[in-house]
A and B are shown apart, each in its own frame.
Chain A
Amino acid sequence: MSEQIKEYPGTSLRESDFAEGRVIHNEWKPNARYAWDAGVAIGRYLHELKKGRLIGVRCDECGRLVIPPRVFCEWCFLPMDDWEYLPDTGTVNTFSLCYVTWDMQYLTEPQIPAVIDIDGTSPYVGIMHMLGEVDPSDVKIGMKVQAVWKPAEEREGSILDIKYFKPV
């Protein structure tokens, strides 16, 4: 039947239709604000970040050592409380050179988000963070990196207590 339909519905507007008042519209901000309970695992993660340390947790059943920590092994569905400190070094698993921010502002110098496999964890276990102190054209998958921490007095118990990871 699609071949028989001549006119499909749907009225296309231009941005100028709004700016120049040709189309009736209104705006609203949802004011949706939250305080999410960090709970056991992420609570501990944040406390340790404030101390300048990365911590993971191991499953006694399958032996996986993971970060970010969780209180259960998603593969074995068993509780985990075998906490282990991890080095703040790792390997770039993948990365991007991003020239736009989350709200689509353009950047001349790219942000470099990466998945960093943390040393000492099981294969393919990492976290997302930023790379810094590196020329964008030098970033490679497989590159060894280390966390650059904020000074202790500025740390708040946040993933941002690590400023970025830099090549080692």
Chain B
Amino acid sequence: MSRSVAIVGIGYTSFRPLSPEVSYKELMYEAAVKAYHDAGVDPRSDVESLVTVAEDFLEGTSIFDEYVPDQLGGILKPNVTIPGDGIHGLATAYMQIASGLFDIVAVEAHSKASNVLTLPYVTAYAMDPVLNRPLAANPVFIAGMEMTRYLWASDATREQCAAVVAKNKRNALYNPAAAYPADLSVEDVLNADWLSYPLTDNDASYHADGAIVLVLAADDVARSLSNAPIWIRGIGWCNDAFSLETRAWGRAIYAEEAGKMAYRMAGIRNPMEEIDFAEIDDTYSYKELQHLEALGFCPLGQAGYLAEEGATDVGGILPVNVSGGSLGCGHLLDASGLRAVAMAVMQLRGEAGPRQLTDVETGLAFGWRGVPTTSGAAVVLGK
């Protein structure tokens, strides 16, 4: 079977609503410098290949691939851009190593969401141009419709969704890199202005700028570089139907399938017993619940109880989004998944400071690409 692959270096900038003091290149450079320092590698001599996650219209540049190699130390090396979630980028780096092609690969993702002045228009530009886009609706309506169906099909309530928001923003109080820490009550979330019923403004994550770089290495190379390599035990990704007219509205099939693939590889049969904590996409409050179910932590429709009973709190049986998630850290566009991975690696290394969990051996990170997509990726990480 394939070679094993570990994460041996992480670097990230703090996440914040604006970042006028640096350009996107400078933001990426800072995260890269930190990651290479953490891994103890020289990017010019040691890193063999680089993977960047980006989408043209989020950068305002066509063929953004042009603009990545210099600030990552990647010139005149293999580089590729993956227009996907950060964990799709991680999977690419994983495969490049597992195939035997390279021993050390870096993966980068970033957000300069603050620089996109018309983000809802840009998101609308991702919708089917003939069938859906002419409605000229703010694309958050897709999340509203999905939440309606999810609440209808499951036992979950708006209150339980609001509990997710309160938890994640509270967790972010312990994360110095987070952009949106807050001490909110469930009522505060429920009573916020409507965004797209049943979503309120507080059910949705706000954007942040930031960059994350991870360094991956193969087998013995990983062991020689790091005292605490964090192994990629399993990785999986999946797309459900893209079409609004054929997708499964109440269920996150993409997460079910991505999770199955990752678990199969990691040999995980019972996620709740075998996984100690999770960093799971929470772009919207209900998404954390929907994704928890899809990833097999409870039967379909039951995740609301986990939130309500505190099972996913820091002291619960499955702490979820201890970092604060996207609701607390800020939504980093397609870098959100890589943020989740970086946070999980810190927990497994025991470097999570005031939010450190005890006795964690195995963690899960899951990223979703946001509306209007049905695209997600999961990774099981272990010591």
Asked if the two chains touch in their complex, CB atoms less than 8 Å apart, one says yes
Within 8 A of B (CB), among A29-67: 30-43
The answer to whether A34 touches B60, judged by C-beta atoms less than 8 angstroms apart, is yes
Interface centre among B21, B26, B57, B130 (most CB of A within 10 A): B26
Task: Please tell me the number of chain A residues within 8 Å of chain B, measured between CB atoms.
Answer: 23
Which one, A32, A35, A37, A43, contacts B122 given CB within 8 A? A32
User: Bound state CA distance, A72 and B26, in angstroms?
Assistant: 8
User: Bound state CA distance, A76 and B134, in angstroms?
Assistant: 50
The answer to whether A75 touches B60, judged by C-beta atoms less than 8 angstroms apart, is no
The answer to whether A70 touches B112, judged by C-beta atoms less than 8 angstroms apart, is no
Which one, B70, B121, B133, contacts A70 given CB within 8 A? B70
User: Bound state CA distance, A36 and B115, in angstroms?
Assistant: 5
B153 within 8 A of A: no
By a CB distance below 8 angstroms, the chain A residues around B117 are 33-35
Which one, B69, B71, B115, B125, contacts A37 given CB within 8 A? B115
Bitwise, B125-156 to A at CB < 8 A (1) or not (0) is: 10001100110000000000000000000000
The answer to whether A72 touches B71, judged by C-beta atoms less than 8 angstroms apart, is yes
By a CB distance below 8 angstroms, the chain A residues around B25 are 39, 41, 70
The answer to whether B71 touches A32, judged by C-beta atoms less than 8 angstroms apart, is no
Distance between A145 CB and nearest chain B CB, rounded to angstroms = 26
Interface centre among A30, A32, A36, A37 (most CB of B within 10 A): A37
Which one, B23, B43, B129, contacts A39 given CB within 8 A? B23
Within 8 A of B (CB), among A74-101: 74-77
The answer to whether A41 touches B75, judged by C-beta atoms less than 8 angstroms apart, is no
The answer to whether A37 touches B23, judged by C-beta atoms less than 8 angstroms apart, is yes
A108 within 8 A of B: no
A71 within 8 A of B: yes
The answer to whether A30 touches B44, judged by C-beta atoms less than 8 angstroms apart, is no
User: Bound state CA distance, A35 and B118, in angstroms?
Assistant: 10
A26 within 8 A of B: yes
B100 within 8 A of A: no
Closest to A72 in B: B29
Contacts A74-B69, A74-B70, A77-B44; is A32 near B21 (CB within 8 Å)? no
User: Bound state CA distance, A71 and B33, in angstroms?
Assistant: 12
A28 within 8 A of B: yes
Counting from the closest, the 4 A-B pairs by CB-CB distance are: A39-B23, A34-B60, A74-B70, A77-B73
Q: Hey, which bits of chain B sit against chain A, CB under 8 A?
A: 19-27, 29, 36, 42-44, 57, 60, 69-71, 73, 75, 112, 114-118, 121-122, 125, 129-130, 133-134
A-B contact list, 24 entries, CB within 8 Å? A28-B125, A28-B133, A30-B122, A31-B121, A32-B121, A32-B122, A32-B125, A33-B117, A33-B118, A35-B115, A37-B19, A37-B24, A38-B23, A39-B21, A39-B23, A39-B26, A40-B26, A41-B25, A72-B29, A72-B71, A74-B69, A74-B71, A74-B75, A77-B44
